[in-house]
Amino acid sequence: MRNAVEWCDDHLEVIDQTALPARFEIAKLSTVDDVVDAIKRLVVRGAPAIGVCGAFGVVIGLHEGRQLTEVVATIGDARPTAVNLKHAVERVARATDPLAEAKRIHDEDRESCLRIGEFGRAELASAKTLLTHCNTGRLATSGIGTALGVVYSKFEAGEDIAVIATETRPLLQGGRLTAWELRDAGIPVTLIADSAAGAALRAGKADAVIVGCDRVAANGDVANKIGTYALAVLSRAANVPFYVAGPLSSFDPKTPDGRAIEIEIRPADEVLNASGAEVDVWNPAFDVTPAHLVTAFITDAGVLRPPFTLTIANAFGSLS
Amino acid sequence: MRNAVEWCDDHLEVIDQTALPARFEIAKLSTVDDVVDAIKRLVVRGAPAIGVCGAFGVVIGLHEGRQLTEVVATIGDARPTAVNLKHAVERVARATDPLAEAKRIHDEDRESCLRIGEFGRAELASAKTLLTHCNTGRLATSGIGTALGVVYSKFEAGEDIAVIATETRPLLQGGRLTAWELRDAGIPVTLIADSAAGAALRAGKADAVIVGCDRVAANGDVANKIGTYALAVLSRAANVPFYVAGPLSSFDPKTPDGRAIEIEIRPADEVLNASGAEVDVWNPAFDVTPAHLVTAFITDAGVLRPPFTLTIANAFGSLS
């Protein structure tokens, strides 16, 4: 499969994730405005993928002759919750060779996915069915994905693996994207309504839940796609382990805990479109799962277990 | 507003709930086959409403000259989970004057709603915002509804009341029906994706959760719309009271507990239609909420509190 984000000499080409699975279309992003629009409209989505997109976006901005600080602010604020975007944009802005730095971020993301996949495969050696939420695979990253990276790693290693995917309303990233990419890879996938996840877990249909993350705070609180918190509570109630997979670039030691994470509120139409109702809507794109509900983090630096304040700090300490 | 189910001399007229809110259409049910089809396709839905529909369906079957036992079986099995349907069909079948009995069931349902509304209003006197799931109002019953009946009662009494309604995928009874009927009544309603309910409860946005029921077992286990179990777990996690509203005709003392309740599995298309995916689906229409997660039942015979095995038996004892 083509990569979700590709750099082509002087512009980005991305798979238009708003069109899948009905149409496979490539969107060409040649200006900062194109990049910001693609990130805001979720043409490109997934915390690692928008980080990579933002990194090359800074390079495009410099080619356009735009002022660096303005480009950094414009792209960095396109979506507020995932920290990868800000991290990547700032790294490129600080670099002496911005293009080389953007390519490095792209490569690192690909390699991080492989490491997450292998750490996850070891951790979840006995798991045959994983329940997941949203999309965290090839469409959400530059590589095999984070939570779905673990699924791909198990599958590539010849292990028995099947996935239960939630639809993930309102934008149906599970129904449209995860179902599509797993089917494309030949991995068995069963789609469920978001509201069926509790019953599925209670019925013992999944050996573990594994999700991605948009931002992990220093204490292990996790911002991720709306519905993640509910899955964590339901996993605990059903005594099913709850894993969060993501690269350290999705962790933010400067965010002390979940209360400090800005949660993006998306337009009402995303919800209203489905039913044709004309009423008020509350449409948060993310929620915060408290650290105590997380069994472990599967990162590109290994599996982090409680107490997370310590193990997250250690993971960053060992990098510096 | 017109009633969801109306008897017109020799046929039923029902609001076609598959067409709302885009179109307000009346479906005419003149044969048993019409009635069964309408129940199966959810043209008529809501445990009390399909009970009333089934009751008049038996009358129609007798007018058609069909054999009584066959009519009872055909209509009674149209949907397996709600017990109202079987109860109503059997009552009419046993009656010396079937039409009078069907009309009695219709009237009782209307009155039950009013009683549930008043008992609920007293119980939830201090609640200003109620979170609900699916549709349990004028469209789901012959009267003001069960869970929504409490909302209407509070509203009619001039109390401050607002509703947070879940979309209720896959068939969007919340987004299409609850949003529509509350807006029609002038009651403030905020629509959320099903997966946002956990975050809403954790954020303290609702004073209580109130849902309907398709079947309550002798021990208080509750079969209701898929997603109800998750709401009960999430309510408990957020320390928000979780109420189940319904008439005693939705209780079945012959069902010892939730394990004995048949859960209807609905077609995959209901889930796949939204995303265009082509994968396996698990689409249970209902789930079972264990009794220990229910704060209290608001019934037409009063508020039933734990221990439910005792209070449910007492409620039936006091009727006999």
B205 SS3 class: coil
Q: pLDDT for A230-245, tens place per residue?
A: 999 999 999 999 999 9
CB-hemisphere CA count at 13 Å for B28? 5
Instruction: Output DSSP code: residue B79.
Output: S
CA dist B36 and B57 (Å) reads 8
- Establish, for the pair of chains A and B, how many residue pairs have beta carbons separated by less than 8 Å: 193
Helix (H) or strand (E) holding B136: none
Please tell me the distance in Å from A175's CA to the nearest CA on chain B: 5
Q: pTM (2 decimals)?
A: 0.96
Residue numbers in B near A279 (CB within 8 A): 165, 179, 182-183, 189-191
Please tell me the distance in Å from A51's CA to the nearest CA on chain B: 25
Type of residue at B211:
V
- Mean pLDDT, all residues of chain A: 96
Say if CB B264 and CB B81 are below 8 A apart.
Answer: yes
What does B22-42 look like in DSSP terms, one character per residue? T---EEEE-SHHHHHHHHHTT
Please, which pLDDT band fits residue A50 given cuts at 50, 70 and 90? very high
The CA–CA distances, whole Å, from B147 to A210, B6, B51, B88 equal 34, 21, 17, 21
Cross-chain residue pair A233–B229, CB shorter than 8 Å: no
Residues of B noted as catalytic: 214
Please, which pLDDT band fits residue A318 given cuts at 50, 70 and 90? low
CB proximity B240 to A under 8 Å: no
Q: For residue A8, what are its two tokens? A: 């082509």
CA dist A156 and A136 (Å) reads 17
CA dist B168 and B174 (Å) reads 5
CB-hemisphere CA count at 13 Å for A122? 11
CB nearest A282 (choices: B196, B202, B288): B196
Say if CB B50 and CB B210 are below 8 A apart.
Answer: no
CB count within 10 Å of CB A158 equals 7
- How would you list the strands of the sheet with B222-225, edge to edge? B251-252, B215-217, B222-225, B286-289
Q: Name the residue of chain B whose CA is nearest to A199's CA.
A: B287
The CA–CA distances, whole Å, from A152 to A11, A113, A127, A286 equal 29, 10, 13, 25
Residue numbers in A near B258 (CB within 8 A): none
Q: How buried is A16 (Cβ within 10 angstroms: 0-12 exposed, 13-18 middle, 19+ buried)?
A: middle
Residue A70 has pLDDT above 70, yes or no: yes
Residue numbers in B near A277 (CB within 8 A): 21, 175-176, 179-180, 183, 191
Q: How buried is B267 (Cβ within 10 angstroms: 0-12 exposed, 13-18 middle, 19+ buried)?
A: exposed
Q: Name the residue of chain A whose CA is nearest to B178's CA.
A: A277
Q: pLDDT for A30-43, tens place per residue?
A: 999 999 999 999 99
CB nearest B179 (choices: A168, A277, A282): A277
Which residue in A34, A109, A194, A214 is the catalytic one?
Answer: A214
Sign of the dihedral through C-alpha B295, B299, B302, B306: negative
Segment 10-49 of chain B within 8 Å of chain A by CB: 21-22
Cross-chain residue pair B21–A193, CB shorter than 8 Å: no
CB proximity B193 to A under 8 Å: yes
CB nearest A233 (choices: B22, B233, B283): B233
CB proximity B284 to A under 8 Å: yes
Residue A104 has pLDDT above 70, yes or no: yes
Residue A319 has pLDDT above 70, yes or no: no
For tokens 């890879």, what's the residue?
A: A185
Q: pLDDT for A284-316, tens place per residue?
A: 999 999 999 999 999 999 999 999 999 999 999
B51 SS3 class: helix
Residue numbers in B near A182 (CB within 8 A): 279
Nearest CA-CA partner of B182 in B244, B135, B142: B135
Q: Name the residue of chain A whose CA is nearest to B267's CA.
A: A192
Cross-chain residue pair A190–B276, CB shorter than 8 Å: no
Please tell me the distance in Å from A19's CA to the nearest CA on chain B: 11
A16 in catalytic set: no
CB nearest B196 (choices: A172, A180, A226): A226
The pLDDT of residue B82:
86
The tens-digit pLDDT sequence of chain B (320 residues) is 788 999 999 999 999 999 999 999 999 999 999 999 999 999 999 999 999 999 999 999 999 999 999 999 999 999 999 889 999 999 999 999 999 999 999 999 999 999 999 999 999 999 999 999 999 999 999 999 999 999 999 999 999 999 999 999 999 999 999 999 999 999 999 999 999 999 999 999 999 999 999 999 999 999 999 999 999 999 999 999 999 999 999 999 999 999 999 999 999 999 999 999 999 999 999 999 999 999 999 999 999 999 999 999 999 986 55
With the CA atoms of A67, A68, A73 and A79 taken in that order, what torsion angle do they form, in degrees rounded to the nearest 10? 110
